[in-house]
Amino acid sequence: MGRTKQRICCVLVAVLLLIFSCLGVDGTEQSQTNVTKGLKGCNMYKGSWVWDDSYPLYDFSRCPYLPKDFDCLGNGRRDQNYLKYRWQPENCNLPRFDGVDFLKRLKGKKIMFVGDSISLQHGQSLICHLHAAVPSSKITADDPNIVRFEDYDVTVIVSFSPFLVDIEQEQVGRVLKLDSIKGAQIWKDIDILVFNTWLWWPNDAAYDYIQEGDKIVKHMDPMEAFRKGLTTWAKWVNSSIDPSKTKVYFRGVTPIHDNGAQWGDPTANSCFNEREPVRGSTYPAGPPPEQKVAEEVLRTITKPVTLLDITTLTQLRKDAHPGIYRQDGPDCIHWCIPGIIETWNQLLYATLL
């Protein structure tokens, strides 16, 4: 009888260990199959940054498409701590980015990143992420913004459109047209579209006038203009996207780290000396108002649109900017490559599984 009880206990322990292993409760990255199952019903965007000695997973130093301006290591940054943090959701584990699998899933397709300079960075990061996975693959780039992985028939395109709506040169000057989106013509026949906009909206030096309908004004509240312009884009998605052919993403807005009070350090007025993320899962200043506007507009879209909700997890990374290690000058707006953007790629990949 004693031996029978002992055997039953051993079996129960083995079963429990198997269950815990499948759930990935140890906080490590499990097999893709287990992780994919675990992602169902899980908020991938709520979590914290944890130190991981196995990071970085990829070597970008040999990527011919790496933008030198944002190559922080190449530009003299000595600490590499910003490369050693992994995003850990609270209730699930993310699959590691598998560049070969990503290319196989997108075989015969085109993915385009549309938006401001942060969107360009996102596309450039993905190109280097894929290059690191298949360094011997045949890759062509007749245009630096159009890179084709020939062996997989996958094309990655980056398209600069900081407002998404049109800005045109007219006799009076540069006119930002809130209800015109003729530039969307080049978005046709793209299989995956990753949009973003906000960075340029508060910058009234980027345009001379704003037009809505027949009304032209010199100034408009940036948040109001942003809402109107993004609504024009949302209407375009509703009227022009065929979900059976095109998958649409909108990437959340990213922060500027130039005010330490926002992350709990009133003595800091830049990102220059930051060497670690904000601890925990919440950003002291809370979500930026422009993200709330974006989410409100997204809710008006009837076609499927996936929000890459990277805002909070990116707010936590005050350490991941180029700072003084950018060729064009100090920068607490853009991001080191490699760096945090590879996590955006990882999240994008997770949505495809």
Residue 151 within a domain = yes
In 3D space, the residue among 162, 185, 186 whose CA is nearest the CA of residue 174 turns out to be 162
Query: Is there a catalytic annotation at residue 117?
Result: yes
Per-residue pLDDT tens listing for the chain (353 residues): 454 445 544 444 444 444 444 444 344 444 454 444 457 788 999 999 999 999 998 888 889 999 899 999 999 999 999 999 999 999 999 999 999 999 999 999 999 999 999 999 999 999 999 999 999 999 999 888 999 999 999 999 999 999 999 999 999 999 999 999 999 999 989 999 999 999 999 998 999 999 999 999 999 999 999 999 999 999 999 999 999 999 999 999 999 999 999 999 999 999 999 999 999 999 999 999 999 999 999 999 999 999 999 999 999 999 999 999 998 899 999 999 999 999 999 999 999 99
Query: Is there a catalytic annotation at residue 334?
Result: yes
Looking at residue 38, its pLDDT comes to 53
Q: Residue written as tokens 């600069």?
A: 160
With a CB cutoff of 8 Å and minimum separation 6, the contacts of 226 are 197, 198, 201, 290, 293
Looking at residue 20, its pLDDT comes to 40
Measure the CA–CA gap between 136 and 213, rounded to whole angstroms. Answer: 52
DSSP per-residue codes, 97-139: P-HHHHHHHTTT-EEEEEESHHHHHHHHHHHHHHHHH-TTS-E
Q: How many CB atoms lie within 10 A of CB 139?
A: 20
Residue 280 within a domain = yes
Residue 17 within a domain = no
Q: Would you say 115 and 201 are in contact if contact means Cβ atoms under 8 Å apart? A: no
Residue 4 within a domain = no
Residue 117 within a domain = yes
Query: Is there a catalytic annotation at residue 142?
Result: no
Catalytic residue among 131, 257, 321, 334: 334
Residue 235 within a domain = yes
Catalytic residue among 52, 98, 101, 117: 117
- Residue 255 structural domain: 41-352
Residue 34 within a domain = no
With a CB cutoff of 8 Å and minimum separation 6, the contacts of 95 are 29, 32, 35, 36, 39, 346, 349, 350, 353
CA distances from 37 to 29, 180, 203, 332 (A): 13, 42, 43, 37
Catalytic residue among 71, 309, 319, 331: 331
Residue 120 within a domain = yes
With a CB cutoff of 8 Å and minimum separation 6, the contacts of 53 are 84
Please state the domain count of the chain.
1
Q: Would you say 315 and 66 are in contact if contact means Cβ atoms under 8 Å apart? A: no
